């Protein structure tokens, strides 16, 4: 289950990067690097992490099962909403006329839809990752015997990394099969 979740979480941003690369990255003569959109995905972490720290200090008794379950549900709903928004903008992107754009020295024909239309899906995915990943770590830590906690956390990290690798391999396979 952990591997499937991690492979899914790495595939979503990969698809978003492809969607962003096929959108107009030119803003008033400045070509925005695609990686900047990833930074936008980190904003929820930068905002929610300090809030979570202070709420834990103020209300330590609220960090039990129902709260953790609510975080997992809200995170998964946020991920689903992110994918729905991405799908909407992908169909909407095709309505914009094509334009030429140079990325990494290659001239590509892309949609003239501005990249900032995609910001919401990146933010929603950032919220999902911010809510779900730490919650799964807390649950793993709580329900594993103390003698196995370190090993459990290492396996959680291992599956996260392996999920990223599997996701990258799947994206590369689709690229090769579809011939670009």
Q: What is the pLDDT of residues 80-97, one digit of tens each?
A: 899 899 889 988 888 899
Residue from 120, 98, 94 nearest 37 by CA: 120
Taking the alpha carbons of 134, 38, 49, 79 in that order, is the dihedral positive or negative?
negative
Question: What pLDDT, on a 0 to 100 scale, did the predictor assign at position 165?
Answer: 73
Residue 95's SS3 state is: coil
Q: Where are the alpha helices (DSSP H) in 59-148?
A: 65-93, 119-143
Q: Give the model confidence (pLDDT) of 145-162 as tens digits.
A: 888 878 877 787 777 777
Q: Give the model confidence (pLDDT) of 91-128 as tens digits.
A: 888 889 998 887 777 888 888 888 888 889 989 988 88
Question: What pLDDT, on a 0 to 100 scale, did the predictor assign at position 62?
Answer: 58
Say how far apart CA 14 and CA 40 lie, in whole Å. Answer: 15
> What pTM value is reported for the model?
0.73
Burial of 78 (0-12, 13-18, 19+ CB in 10 A): buried
């Amino acid at each position: 289950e952990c591997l499937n979740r991690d492979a899914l979480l790495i595939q979503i941003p990969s698809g978003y990067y492809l969607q962003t690369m096929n959108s107009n990255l030119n803003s008033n003569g400045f070509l925005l690097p695609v990686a900047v959109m990833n930074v936008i995905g980190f904003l929820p972490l930068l905002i929610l992490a300090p809030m979570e720290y202070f709420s834990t200090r103020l209300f330590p008794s609220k960090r039990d099962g129902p709260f953790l379950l609510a975080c997992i549900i809200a995170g998964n709903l946020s991920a689903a909403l992110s994918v729905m928004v991405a799908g909407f903008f992908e169909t909407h992107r095709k309505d914009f006329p094509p334009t030429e754009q140079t990325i990494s020295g290659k001239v590509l024909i892309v949609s003239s839809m501005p990249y900032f239309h995609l910001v919401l899906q990146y933010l929603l995915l950032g919220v999902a990752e911010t809510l779900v990943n730490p919650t799964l770590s807390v649950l793993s830590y709580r329900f594993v015997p103390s003698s196995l906690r370190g090993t459990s956390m290492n396996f959680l990290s291992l599956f996260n990394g392996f999920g990223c690798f599997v996701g990258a391999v799947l994206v590369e396979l689709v690229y090769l099969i579809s011939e670009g």
